[in-house]
Amino acid sequence: MTTNKTPDSTLKPCPCRKCGTNYVRPPHQIRSSHYICPTCMKVKDKKRRLTEARREYMRKYKKKYHATKTEKTKERCRAKTRKAVASGVLKKESCEVCESPTSQAHHEDYNDPFTVRWFCDQHHKDLHNHRHQTESENE
Ligand SMILES: [Zn+2]
Ligand SMILES: [Zn+2]
Ligand SMILES: [Zn+2]
């Protein structure tokens, strides 16, 4: 039984491309052009993991920060609208689409609690779902 494998080369120490230390390459590195010794590999791995972890953390942090901020603005806006409706400043209307009387206030701009459109639960959801889709497409 003969194979194309040359078992000798696995045992021959080669200098590491990074630090120059002679080391015996493991079989899976024979064909690789990056002859890096296990020590350098560990350093490289650690660096990569750190960068990835940091990137992931920043992404989550930004997302969370953004979400809390918009949630707060929305909540404040809804509260103002509720007050305005309760005090008669704003008049609750039926759904713009199907004229259902069980409507919810929809804000075009969460910084403007007095500019609202009225939608029933279903049409309000539809509107937001549609909007989310277009938003993510634009990103
Ligand atoms: Zn090395
Ligand atoms: Zn409706
Ligand atoms: Zn809405």
Residue 36 lies in a domain: no
Q: How many CA atoms lie within 13 A of 40 on its CB side?
A: 14
Counting the structural domains of the chain, the total is: 1
pLDDT tens digits, one per residue of 75-120? 999 999 999 999 999 999 999 999 999 999 999 999 999 999 999 9
Is residue 2 in some structural domain?
A: no
Q: Is the pTM of this model over 0.85?
A: no
Ion ligand 3, residues whose Cβ is below 5 A away: 106
Q: Which residues of 52-126 form beta strands (DSSP E)?
A: 103-107, 116-120
Tell me: the pLDDT tens digits for 25-59?
777 766 666 678 889 989 999 999 999 999 999 99
Question: Do the domain assignments include residue 17?
Answer: no
From the CA of 23, which ligand is nearest? 1
- 23 domain residue, yes or no: no
What is the 64 CA–ligand 3 centroid distance (Å)? 21
Residue 3, in any domain of the structure: no
- Does pLDDT of 19 surpass 60? yes
User: Which tens digits make up the pLDDT trace of 125-134?
Assistant: 999 898 766 6
Q: Which domain holds residue 132?
A: 42-138
